[in-house]
Amino acid sequence: MKARSSHRGASCARPFFASLLVWLIASGLALVAASATSRAVSLLDLFAGATVTADDKLFDGWTLINLQTTNGGRADPGGIDVTPLVDDPLDPGIRFSSPSGALGTPFGHTGPSSVSLVFSFNVQTTNQLPLIKDNSLLLSDFVFDSGPQAFIQVTEEIFDVTGARIGQKLTIAHPGDSPGSGDPDHFDQAVFSPQQLVHVVKRIEIQGPGDNDGAFLAEFEQRFSQVPEPCSLALLALGVGALAGYGRMRSSKATSQFHIIHPQVVK
């Protein structure tokens, strides 16, 4: 009788596990779809009103604050692409890339050359929940052909909806540095209390102070990680609990099937 009872319990559990499996597959397909639809948008288009969405983060309100170049320096918003980063649902972000050398000082010039680009944008959750808890910045690719005084620097200030500054970051690269080397100067992070919306002011400064000091920023990225949503935590706990319960059920069934009944000896 015990074996039959366990069998009935397993049968009742199958619809639940089937539903759980369907949910997991649907979630995976949604992530694949999001990755497939990720596309680059030029910084120029963003200044004209375009937006970028990375998972549940909306990047909008892009505003050009200042753009100055001297002696051949180049900062072309039309050649700078912004691409959503959706490889981690809890740490989405954006990547800035300028593969055509649209951002830097030329390799051939006489006297100082420089670039200064300042712009701002908003980052907010699409579900209006206060989930954004930190912001990271990484210089991931750059090129130098210069003397030791040249540099590439990207700084940021982060503000909440009231205009109060809640964080700031500074990253810098020098001649002789290698992209992807793990140099701490290439990475910075700001941690703050969970926010629904943050305002970011970004400053890019590139200096080639000597003759022929060439320095180009090819790529940098930033992410806005978040606390997990309550529903996500509940689903995770439900899934773990269900799998544990299913394991106990199978163990109980196996024990009942192989239970040996010893006949009583009548004296």
Task: Find the mean pLDDT for residues 187-212.
Answer: 97
Mean pLDDT of 192-201: 96
DSSP of 31-54: HHHHHHH---EEHHHHHTT--EEE
264 phi, psi to nearest 5 deg: -80, 145
- pLDDT at residue 263 is higher than 90: no
Beta bridge partners of 113: 208
Position 253 scores a pLDDT of: 53
Q: What is the pLDDT of residue 138?
A: 98
Answer whether 0.85 is exceeded by the pTM.
no
Please state the rounded mean pLDDT for residues 70-99.
Answer: 95
Widest CA span of the chain, in angstroms? 114
Mean pLDDT of the chain: 82
- For the segment 211-243, what is each residue's pLDDT rounded down to a tens digit? 999 999 999 999 998 887 554 444 444 444 555
Task: Give which of 24, 17, 49, 40 is closest to 100, Cα–Cα.
Answer: 40
Nearest to 55 by CA among 29, 81, 88, 83: 88
Residue range 162-184: average pLDDT?
97
The pLDDT of residue 226: 83
The more confident residue out of 45 and 258 is: 45
Section 167-180 average pLDDT: 97
Q: Which two tokens stand for residue 22?
A: 């369907």
Q: In this model, does residue 88 exceed pLDDT 70?
A: yes
Q: What is the mean pLDDT of residues 54-82?
A: 97
